[in-house]
Structure formats: C-alpha cells, structure tokens
Structure 1
Amino acid sequence: MPPRPMPPLPQESAIHDLVSRIRGLSPSCGPVRLVGVDGHAGSGKSTFAGRLAGALGGVPVLRLDDIASHQELFGWTKRLLSQVIGPLGRGEQAYYTPYDWRARAFGQPHPLPPAPVVVVEGVGAGRRALRPHLALLLWMELPAEAAWSRGRARDGAEQREFWEGWVEAERRHFAEDPSRPFADLLVREREEGYEVLAGPAGTAEPLSPLTDGDGPSAPR
C-alpha cells in the first residue's frame, strides 16, 4: 500500500488559502486578475508582493516605482492606464517604460503579459482610478511614521532630501485619494511571516497567519 500523503502544515495551508482565493476570483482587467498591494512607503509592500507572486507560481509583478517619476510622484494615472491597464483589458501584452530614479529618465519598453494574475505593488495601488480594475486590494498595515522611518533607514543619507518631499506628497495623496478604506484585506508583519485580516471594505474574510515557511504552490 503506498504511503498516505501527510496533511499540510498550518503555514502551508495559510498561503495555499490566499493563493486559492486569488485564483478563484473573477478576472478584473480583461483576462487578468489584478491584485493590488498598497501601503505607506517603507511598509514592506515590495517584499510581500514578491513572496505572494512566488507563491502564485511566479506571476508578474508591476512595481509602481517604475511608473512614477521625480516630476510625477503621484500624477502617473494616465500613463498607467494607457501603457498597462488598456492593453491588459483587451487581453494584449502591455509595454511600459520603467523609470530610472538615478538617471531621472524613462527606459526602454518592458513587456507585461496578460497573465491570469498580475500583482501591482506600490503607494497608490489602490487609488480611485485603479480600483475598478482590481480583483483584490491588500493594504500593508503599518502606521505611516513607522513605515517612513524604516524607509529612511533603508535608503540612507543619500535619499534624505527626496524623503522630505516624498512624505508631504504621500500625505496629500492619501488625504485626497485614500486606499485603506477600500482594502479587502489588511496585511501585518509578524516576527515570522504575516498576518492577514479582514479589511475595511468587508468583502473578504481574514486568513490564518502566513509565515516565511510557506512554500510556493504549483503553477497553474
């Protein structure tokens, strides 16, 4: 008699639940399920989005830092809609021009396929103009001052002047176009992994904690 498979560990079950939920959502932008990961700068969006994308089998991640620029920290809606949302909505491969923050210039077009799931991460991922195209919105639940402090420490003295301007710009953005009230799920960092809670939008139930031991699920 072949050995029976072992039941999944709790942490494996947790990431599997989130992945299953996302895959069970209806497409929100043409054939694509767009999953937004928003939060204050320095709140851990990039790390979480990368782990989520890996658990989903290596799906594409669009980082809004590639869409924004020094001149348009938050005024990039038209560029996102024309370069990314429009083509994906038609089931076509999108091409966006990533911004080089050191060279202060946009680069060559980068492809973004209409994959079954695309993760969009960055400050403003849950903005008003993007929400109708999202299948799910996640908010990194870290207070602004704590996130900004961590971001400043991460970027060092070289970016001190940039951070002074960024904080004021981010305050204005979220005052005029908040994302958190529309989040389906809140994500909190823990000593090991993450805790996922129901968000203010009330459209999704909380999940059991996600830990760093969560292995990626098989691609589908």
Structure 2
Amino acid sequence: MGTTAAYDDLLARTRGLIEATEGVPVVGISGHGGAGKSTLALRLAADLGLTEDQVLATDAFHATTCGPDAGMWEQCDWDALERVVRSAREGRERLRYVYRWWSGETGVEDHPMPSVLVVEGIRLFSDRTSGWFDLAVWLDMDPDEAGARAKARNVLQGDDEAELALWDTKWIPEGHDHERTERPADRADLVLRAAR
C-alpha cells in the first residue's frame, strides 16, 4: 500500500517533482466516484498556480462504447488519454485534446501546457496505465460511502432516476470490483484519506 499522507505531503511532493523533472511531470489522482478526486485535483492545481482548464479529467475522455451496458474498462478512451499524457512528457507547449462527454458531445480543449499535468479520474491505476504517472495518489474512501455522496451530489445536479439508479446497479459494484482486482491503493505512491 502507498504511504499514508496528508495534503501538505502531496503538495510538497508535487513541487519537488516540478523542480526535479525534466519536462512536465504527471500526477494521477484516483479514487471511487464521489470520493472527492476533482475537488482535490483542483485544490492542488490552484496551489500550484494552474487553472481549472489545465487539469485533465477522465470525464472528458468517454469512449464511444460508454453507457449503462458498457464494461468497466469500456467507459474511458484510454488511448486518447494516453496520447495527452505522452504529449506532456514529450514537452509539447500546448495541452490540446478532443474531449468527449458522457452525452456524446465533443469539442477541442487547447490551453498552455502546465508545469505539472494533474490527471484525475476513476480506475486510473492498473496495468494499462503503468508508467504514466510520476506520482500516483489514491483518495481512500469505501465505494459505498463514496457512491452515496455521489448520488446526493447528482440529485442536486438534477440527474433523473435512471441515472441515479446506476450508482446502485453499476458504479458502486464496479468500484468494489476495481478495488478487489486492481488493488489501486497498493499501486499508489501516496494514499490520502478522503474528507468526510
């Protein structure tokens, strides 16, 4: 299991990477849906002087296969996400990519490349992403607790009953499956307790 850490440890480690890494280091922040990944990533970005647009979220990389019936690894376009990670490592000056939302809407994001690329999303740590991250951060929260928070958030966002039901039938069970099969906390460098 990764080293249990506090936010200040994450901030210090990330600053150290920026100073020591040739090119753009990549920090991955993962956890279950509702654990607070986006909040943590945006806080880190702000403390490092980055904009929200310079944080890379897997929610912008939905695959054409995504949907209620798609398998656990068929929701994200992993190849497209890897190309963006690789572009940072190659020293590109622009953070440029085609996004695809859950709804199927697509478009282009184009921003200055940040001093560190913060990537946040579910299921980031697995064999398929080995070598992507200079620092892997797992936000620790039980899938049931995280899912309950996500459902409450989505109610406020106005999601319909069918979308809310997916938390019980798909997202939370898949969170348990992911934790059991991939053991993401063991793959992480740092483990932060999710805020409650």
Scaled by the length of structure 2, the TM-score of the pair is 0.75
Q: Select 1:178's aligned residue among 152, 176, 183.
A: 183
Corresponding residue for residue 134 of structure 1: 133
Contact 1:31 1:115 in 2 (8 A): no
Q: Select 1:47's aligned residue among 39, 50, 57.
A: 39
Q: Where in structure 2 are the equivalents of 1:35-114 lying within 5 Å?
A: 35-58=27-50, 60-69=54-63, 71-72=65-66, 74-75=73-74, 76-82=77-83, 84-92=84-92, 93-101=94-102, 104-114=103-113
Do the aligned partners of residues 16 and 171 (structure 1) sit closer, same or farther apart at CA in structure 2, a change above 3 Å counting? Answer: closer
1:49 to partner: Cα distance: 1.0
1:173 to partner: Cα distance: 3.8
With a CA cutoff of 8 Å and minimum separation of 6, indicate the structure with the bigger relative contact order.
Answer: 2
1:55 to partner: Cα distance: 0.8
| Distance in 2 between residues matched to 1:148 and 1:190, nearest whole Å | 14
Contact 2:28 2:124 in 1 (8 A): yes
Contact 2:29 2:118 in 1 (8 A): yes
| Distance in 1 between residues matched to 2:195 and 2:179, nearest whole Å | 25
Contact 2:140 2:191 in 1 (8 A): yes
List runs of 5+ in structure 2 lacking aligned partners.
Answer: 1-5, 67-71
| Distance in 1 between residues matched to 2:108 and 2:177, nearest whole Å | 30
SS at structure 2 position matched to 1:80: helix
SS at structure 2 position matched to 1:74: coil
1:16 to partner: Cα distance: 5.9
RMSD value, Cα: 2.5
| Distance in 2 between residues matched to 1:20 and 1:189, nearest whole Å | 18
Task: Report percent identity of matched pairs.
Answer: 29
1:98 to partner: Cα distance: 2.1
| Distance in 1 between residues matched to 2:105 and 2:143, nearest whole Å | 29
Q: Any idea what the Cα deviations from partners look like across 1:10-51, whole Å, max 9, x if unmatched? A: xxxx86654332121243xx7111111111111111111111
| Distance in 2 between residues matched to 1:126 and 1:112, nearest whole Å | 26
Corresponding residue for residue 9 of structure 1: none
Q: Select 2:166's aligned residue among 162, 169, 174.
A: 162
| Distance in 1 between residues matched to 2:15 and 2:55, nearest whole Å | 16
Contact 2:10 2:190 in 1 (8 A): no
**Structure whose CA Rg is larger:** 1
| Distance in 2 between residues matched to 1:79 and 1:178, nearest whole Å | 24
1:140 to partner: Cα distance: 0.9
Output the amino acid matched with 1:182. Answer: R
- Looking at secondary structure, tell me which structure has more helix per residue: 2
Corresponding residue for residue 198 of structure 1: none
Output the amino acid matched with 2:101. Answer: D
SS at structure 1 position matched to 2:12: helix
Contact 1:31 1:114 in 2 (8 A): no
Corresponding residue for residue 146 of structure 2: 147
Matched, 1:24 2:28: no
Q: Any idea what the Cα deviations from partners look like across 1:99-156, whole Å, max 9, x if unmatched? A: 233xx21411212543221111110222333341211111111111111111112112
List runs of 5+ in structure 1 lacking aligned partners.
Answer: 1-13, 192-220
Q: Where in structure 2 are the equivalents of 1:187-202 lying within 5 Å?
A: 187-190=192-195
